[in-house]
Structure 1
Amino acid sequence: MSQSTRSTTKRNIFWFRRDLRLSDNPALLAALESCDELIAVFILDEKLIKLSGSKRLAYFGQSLRSLDESLGNKLHLMVGDQVTVLKELISRYGADEVHISEEFEPYGAARDLRVEAAGIKLVRTGSPYAVSPGRVLKPSDATPYRVYTPFYRAWCVHGWRKPVAAPKDLKLVTPQSADRNFVDWKVPEGCEITPAGEAAALARWEVFKKSALASYDTERNNAGVDGTSKLSAHLKWGEIHPRTLLADLGTSNAHDVYRKEIAWREFYADVLFNNPHTENDYYAPRFKDMRYDKPGEKFKAWCEGRTGYPFVDAAMRQIVKEGWMHNRTRMVVASFLVKDLHLEWQLGADFFMEHLVDFDVASNAHGWQWTA
């Protein structure tokens, strides 16, 4: 690449994170609008990989492959410290800007601040949420909501933008062979996971809209039927944006109930944003004083689906095999662990973190605390 080419061609970097899609990705559009060529990059985070269970890694690897295919096999899949990788790419390509979709959970937010402290300016556009955490505040005193129902009402009043189309012309820089560090993590023997990627997410949404959305208000709690959207893993990895789902919802009771489920995800993200310690600590400090038993054989039996309670055991066997569990059964097994076995909620939250493909730090921590 000649010096003259570097000086006349404007290049931006788009750093993919929890937004592994092309459609309804405002940050990607913003990056493309202000450059001649785009460097598409994902940086594998070795710390997060070590904390991820085998099923989630297998899904993640498939999702990256799907994203790369949609990019014409031009994804820079890098390994290493984010500051080091980004500085090398900026230097190599003469990139002007690094564009991102903003993240709000404690680890991601701290990582981005560290990158900026190293002198790399990040251009933020949008987030993984319909309404970014921190934006829904009480009109009386501009403080965050602590209770879901008033949050939901204010969230609806705040509103969200319409989805945006996928870019028509990507203008991507071709990566070098050393930039293609794909890892195909294997699905554990005896386990099954759902198909990953943006196309799979959009297809699943279409199936749900046609087959189950109209009865969602009456069937969502029935664990024995395919009555939920099963989009949680797709939302976790940003293969579909919640705005895409919200745009298709009407005013029926079933549609409103589904909208409320999306709002629960955003409420938990807002709570964690305003109370970052609650990732693994108590939201209500008074519950710290409760006494629990020490984990032993009964915790092992819960993990392995051997409690003797068929409904609980079936749900626990499902999460181990599929990396997924119906929302109602998640609440049942959580309640059983805390209220029947008298074990602290963090034990179950850590088990879910290991096994769930759709693990989301805010939803997991606060879903467990809400049940406990």
Structure 2
Amino acid sequence: MSINNSQNEIALVWHRRDLRIDDNPALHEAIAEVGDHGRVVGLFIFDPDILDDGVTEGSKVDFMLGCLRELQANYRRLGSDLLFMYGQPVSSICELAKSINATHVFFNQDVEPFAIKRDRDAKEALQTLGIKVQSFIDIGLIAPDAIATQAGEPYKVYTPFWRNWQSKPKSTPLDAPKQIKGLDHHENLPTIPLPSLRELKFINDITLPKFGEAAALELLTKFCDSNNILRYQTERDLPAHVGTSGLSPHLRFGTVGIRRVWAAAIASEQLIRSEEDQQGVTTWKQELAWREFYQHVLFYFPELATGAYRPQMQNFPWEEDEEKFEAWCEGRTGYPIVDAAMRQLNQTGWMHNRCRMIVASFLTKDLLINWQWGERYFMQKLLDGDLAANNGGWQWSASSGMDPKPLRIFNPASQARKYDPEGEYILQWLPELRGLTTAELLSGNIPPHQCDRRQYARPIVDHNTQQQKFKRLYQECKS
């Protein structure tokens, strides 16, 4: 039965990666468009193609459900509701739009190839029904196609992208609405209650960080109103320290708006008292730009989602050694900094960014295993798993991406000595190694009898040997 509310305009706000009411362009414009007499209702669709893709794990779904629970509570507190559907997105939103006589649909854009096609198909189908559709830039501060080289081409190198990106004006954040007028009735809609993790056929065996909009804003405030952002340049590479914001899962699910993040960073400049402080804030801004650089290149080069950017790496003779890959996944490589990082990932759904580079280099340059195996594993485990950033980071580490100096190989031992000099991070995740000297922990070559005594894996490869092998194969592919 349709809801007969033809006297008023009714807008659907289709949430995907924007699970918040604050600083939300689609929601803000929906309320403005339909006016005081219109109605606005939120929608989230559980897409079985995503849930059953073999990559999505229970921890990420559980985090998302927590965010949705808070978002629905916020809608209800303000006078409306967030509705849920399960099914193919295009047919689902059209079905709901018809059943409530929707006049408008609003959503925030994405840059992933799958999402772009989905949104194009949805827009065409909705417009065929006579429904007005509007979409907005929300995933980044600058639209991917709103920035280009002087020749009008997309950027392929970060540094000139950063120079252009940072010079462009940024929008100010949009305040959360104080009221949302919802539908008069909810009966007989093709919707479902918010499902449980079990109903979606997932389980979660890790302890989640705080989820939702309130938690995201709390993290942002704590990071930018303290010395954390001022010390970001020096602290961000030390995995034993709390030197990062912890916002990455919230940026992934959009529980905090990127304009709100940028405004907080700008406001933190009032705290600057030294060149070191200035460098901390600048480095944080540069990391936000890295995020948008990877969105930019994925938008223009969607083939990155399925393969290497550099032609010479498209046929690299990777070794498909499943036993070594399993050892890497489980943190049993015999290289403490690598194993500590993988255990952090498996037990928390997050990994320090410095360690992401270390383990990615180890998988590709030491084990000679295809970077796409690691990319997929990260997407399975990371709460902040994002196609653009994850793919960009892995291709950078594998020498297959857009890095102008692609041949980078990280030595696990020297990385540990530089960024975990006391072995604090290693011991946090590898408690069986307590009692070893710091030199032994950081050497990358723990004596075999010590490994056996502590039931810790002996090194599964020799770094120097594998480094030379990778270089040789890399040069052969270039010639």
Amino acid at match of 1:242: I
Residue 283 of structure 1: aligned partner: 309
> Is residue 303 of structure 1 aligned with residue 329 of structure 2?
yes
- Against the structure 1 CA distance between its residues 58 and 8, is the aligned structure 2 distance closer, same or farther, given a 3 Å change threshold? same
Tell me whether 67-76 or 100-109 shows the greater mean CA deviation: 67-76
Are 2:29 and 1:30 aligned?
yes
* Whole-Å separation in 2 of the counterparts to 1:367 and 1:257: 17
1:35-76 CA distance string (max 9 Å, x none): 211121111111111231111111111111111111117210
Query: 2:168 & 2:162 partners in 1: Cα distance?
Result: 10
Give CA-to-partner distance per residue, 1:337-365, whole Å, 9 cap, x none. Answer: 00111111001001001111111001111
Gaps of 5+ in 1: none
Match of 2:193 among 171, 174, 181: 181
Which shifted more, 223-232 or 119-128? 119-128
| Equivalent AA in structure 1 for residue 391 of structure 2 | A
The residue correspondences of 1:231-246 to structure 2 (distance < 5 A) are 231-246=247-262
Deviation at 1:178, TM superposition (A): 6.2
For residue 214 of structure 2, what is the aligned residue in structure 1?
A: 199
What letter corresponds to residue 97 of structure 1 in structure 2?
A: H
SS at match of 1:38: strand
Is the Cα–Cα contact under 8 Å of residues 30 and 125 in structure 1 kept in the other structure? no
Structure 2 counterpart of 1:134: 145
Instruction: Supply the distance in 2 between the matched residues of 1:296 and 1:15 (Cα, whole angstroms).
Output: 41
- 1:273 aligned residue: 299
Report if the CA contact (8 A) 1:280-1:365 is conserved: no
Whether the 8 Å contact between 1:98 and 1:123 is mirrored in structure 2 is: yes
Of residues 177-186 and 356-365 in structure 1, the stretch that sits farther from structure 2 once superposed is 177-186
**Residue-by-residue CA offset, 1:97-131 (whole Å, 9 max, x unaligned):** 11111222101100011112324352112221111
Q: Please say if residues 10 and 40 of structure 2, whose CA atoms lie closer than 8 Å, have aligned partners that are also in contact.
A: yes
* AA partner of residue 330 (structure 1): R
State the Cα deviation string for residues 276-312 of structure 1 (Å, max 9, x = none).
0101211112212322211221111000000011111
Q: Percent identity?
A: 36
Q: SS state of the match for residue 217, structure 1? A: helix
Q: Moved runs in structure 1, 4+ residues, more than 3 A?
A: 174-178, 186-190
Whole-angstrom distance in 2 between the partners of 1:102 and 1:57:
21
Q: Measure, in 2, the Cα distance between the counterparts of 1:25 and 1:119.
A: 22
Sort the Cα spacing of 1:2 and 1:188 in 2 relative to 1 into closer, same or farther, 3 A. Answer: closer
What displacement does 1:188 show?
Answer: 5.0
TM-score of the superposed pair, with normalisation by structure 2: 0.74
Seen in structure 2, the aligned counterparts of structure 1 residues 34 and 346 have a Cα distance that, compared at 3 Å, is same
User: Would you say the 8 A contact 2:110–2:139 is kept in 1?
Assistant: yes
| Contact 1:62/1:184, CA 8 A, preserved across alignment | no
Cα pair 1:220 1:227 within 8 Å, conserved:
yes
- 233-242 or 243-252: bigger deviation: 243-252
Once the 2 structures are TM-superposed, how far is the Cα of residue 212 of structure 1 from its aligned partner? 1.4
For 1:64-143, list aligned pairs within 5 A. Answer: 64-72=68-76, 74-120=81-127, 121-139=132-150, 141-143=151-153
Please give the alpha-carbon distance, in whole angstroms, between the structure 1 residues aligned to 2:351 and 2:97.
42
The equivalent of 2:401 in structure 1 is none
Match of 1:14 in 2: 13
Q: Is the 8 A contact 1:161 1:243 kept in 2?
A: yes
Aligned partner of residue 123 in structure 1, secondary structure: strand
How many residues are matched?
370
Distance 2:204 2:293 in 1: 36
Q: Which among 269, 273, 288 is matched to residue 262 of structure 1?
A: 288
Gaps of 5+ in 2: 270-277, 399-479
- Equivalent of 2:320, from 283, 288, 294? 294
**8 A contact 1:103–1:128 mirrored in 2:** yes
Kindly indicate whether the alpha-carbon contact (under 8 Å) linking 1:76 and 1:175 is maintained by their aligned counterparts in 2.
no
**Deviation string, structure 1 residues 121-172 (Cα, Å, up to 9, x no partner):** 5211222111111111012x11111000000010012221011101111112
1:349 and 2:375 correspond: yes
Q: Is the Cα–Cα contact under 8 Å of residues 349 and 368 in structure 1 kept in the other structure?
A: yes
Partner residue, 2:240:
224
Give distance in 2, aligned partners of 1:119 and 1:33.
20
- TM-score normalized by the length of structure 1: 0.95
